[in-house]
Copies of this chain bind each other. A is one copy, B any other.
């Protein structure tokens, strides 16, 4: 009396290797060999087993496989903002590397919420993913240290944590990016310059702002002359909001140029300017950050600081894979260099 005969009446009981073995008249182990080391199985038997598999509609059970193997065939990328093309481009870079290694990538959107990030990280650890790539909403979360200690490697993407010895990281020099952006505006002769960005809990925003201030200082101006228009997120609506506040300032004190912490803000700001009648770049020059695809297609093509997005993702994935393969691996901090792309939005009138 075999285990089979699962009437088609109710739902589908699982078809397992056992059933395949019975149908093909071979042992359990042979079926497994067909799946995992086909070269050990004679052509004749292999064919019989494969036929049985497709006839029964056998689907390998990944849970059981993983349970035995102790690890999965999956990576995960926990990203800060699924609606920001910057991160989806980074994800593409990751996917390319993963695909070459025959790994799947689990994309998780923390939406910049620490509790959601924590919940994803917990789940991913429980799923025993091979490793996690993350652009953290909360870079100080304890779990980021615990995960590698318990055996799940973590690579920090688009962020560095000073003197971090438990993670690899890949980032772009945000300080330099800020310098480039502001240096450019200073060079174009702007006197009153603003910085649009926030929250300052985001390291990216802090670093870009500090870079901007350094550039001001280098030009012999007081760094605090940089007017900070704070935002609660790096999104298009927040950019529009900042634009409204800007429009509310008397023209005499209003900045003649602003540097935005990312392109979404810059696009929102730009849109609001068009609505309000502030001319760009004549009344207001704008520099964005990230150089997302839409920057060039904006109302006024946007000057922006370009980051090697795909490369960022690909490198991070490579570091992760290296760490997975080599347990006592020395953590590396890779820093890429950004590049200023000048377009109309910052043209001198």
The residues of A with any CB-CB pair to B shorter than 8 Å are: 11-12, 14, 57, 59-67, 70, 72-73, 82-83, 85, 88-89, 91-92, 95, 99, 104-109, 116, 120, 123, 125-128, 146, 149-151, 236, 267-268, 270-271, 274, 293-294, 296-301, 327
Pairwise interchain contact B59-A150, C-beta atoms closer than 8 A: yes
A63-B151 Cα distance, complex, nearest whole Å: 16
What residues of chain B lie closer than 8 Å to A70, measured between beta carbons? 14
How many whole Å from A205's CB to the nearest CB in chain B?
Answer: 20
What residues of chain B lie closer than 8 Å to A298, measured between beta carbons? 297-299
Pairwise interchain contact B327-A11, C-beta atoms closer than 8 A: yes
Pairwise interchain contact A104-B83, C-beta atoms closer than 8 A: no
What residues of chain B lie closer than 8 Å to A296, measured between beta carbons? 271
A128-B150 Cα distance, complex, nearest whole Å: 26
Task: Kindly report how many copies of this chain are found in the complex they form together.
Answer: 2
What residues of chain B lie closer than 8 Å to A59, measured between beta carbons? 125-126, 150
A268-B295 Cα distance, complex, nearest whole Å: 11
Pairwise interchain contact A12-B150, C-beta atoms closer than 8 A: yes
How many whole Å from A231's CB to the nearest CB in chain B?
Answer: 16
A73-B327 Cα distance, complex, nearest whole Å: 30
How many whole Å from A127's CB to the nearest CB in chain B?
Answer: 5
**Known pairs A297-B268, A299-B298; A126 contacts B61 (CB<8 A):** yes
A127-B63 Cα distance, complex, nearest whole Å: 6
What residues of chain B lie closer than 8 Å to A294, measured between beta carbons? 236, 267, 294, 297
Jot down 30 A-B pairs with beta carbons below 8 A, ordered by A: A11-B327, A60-B126, A61-B126, A61-B128, A62-B128, A63-B67, A63-B72, A63-B127, A82-B88, A82-B91, A82-B92, A82-B107, A83-B85, A83-B92, A88-B88, A95-B109, A104-B123, A105-B108, A106-B106, A106-B107, A236-B297, A270-B297, A271-B296, A271-B297, A271-B301, A294-B294, A298-B298, A298-B299, A299-B299, A299-B300
How many whole Å from A18's CB to the nearest CB in chain B?
Answer: 14
**Known pairs A297-B267, A299-B299, A299-B300; A109 contacts B125 (CB<8 A):** no
